[in-house]
Amino acid sequence: MALNKTILIVEDEPSIAELQRDYLEMSGYKTVLADNGEAGLQLGMTGQFDLIVLDVMLPKLSGFEVCKALREASDVPILMVTARREDIDVIRGLGLGADDYIGKPFKPAELVARVKSHLARYDRLTGRNARTGDMEIGELRINANTRQAFVREEEVSLTAKEFDLLYFLAQHPNQVFSKDHLFDRLWGIYAIGDTQTVTVHIRKLREKIEKDASAPVYIETVWGAGYRFRL
């Protein structure tokens, strides 16, 4: 799986950056290092990386600033690294778009496991290995190739996780999924946050794709059970 996968490591402590690089390269990944937030952002914006390992405390631009800017332009998985407990609380809000975090000190094997997990999940959700093209349901069109959604042929702006959630539900029409199932499936075993994250993303999706978010046509709430995508 590691073939042709390139990881950007944004870390200003040389010993930690080298440790991350060595273990990821031993696992078959290519790596590129950046030692400050400004350089990390510039490299990340090139779109040549499959995942970014991003430290929170960086010179020039903080990891939070870099994450926010990257997420506005890309859905590449971002694994944030932090040594401070209060940073974890900020990351948990998911407002920055980070996919996961790992605390310092960490075991190199855990870092590699997280990277593998997020790359596999990203490949699966984006359909890199089996693209299916357009999916049309009523006035809604979802394109897996471009990761775009259209309502009445007008594109709606979705975050990476909003698209993942919409695409997953649309791939399994009329099936009921609990919030726990959706959270585990789309955010993963090491994910930040809780099932309230699912509720927030469902609400935002409805606001973007439904004519009336209070009377949804596509994403239905099944009280006491979860959500389902209706055909």
pLDDT in tens, the chain (231 residues): 455 789 999 999 999 999 999 999 999 999 999 999 999 999 998 888 989 999 988 999 988 889 888 877 777 888 888 887 666 655 554 456 777 778 888 888 889 988 988 888 777 655 544 444 678 888 898 888 788 899 998 999 998 889 999 998 988 888 888 888 888 888 775 555 577 888 999 999 999 999 999 999 999 999 888 899 987
Predicted confidence (pLDDT) per residue in 15-24, tens digit: 999 999 999 9
Specify the pLDDT at position 114.
87
The Cα 123–Cα 53 span in angstroms is 17
pLDDT of residue 1: 47
pLDDT of residue 129: 43
Would you state the structure tokens that stand for residue 134, as one six-digit string?
A: 């357009």
Residue 223 phi, psi (nearest 5) = -55, 130
pLDDT at 201: 92
Q: By three-state DSSP, how is residue 82 classified?
A: strand
Residue 172's SS3 state is: coil
Helix (H, G, I), strand (E, B) or coil at 11: coil
In angstroms, rounded to a whole number, what is the distance separating the alpha carbons of residues 106 and 54?
A: 14
Sheet holding 154-156, edge to edge: 134-137, 140-143, 148-151, 154-156
pLDDT confidence of residue 119: 85
pTM exceeds 0.85 for this model: no
C-alpha span between 229 and 231 (Å, rounded)? 7
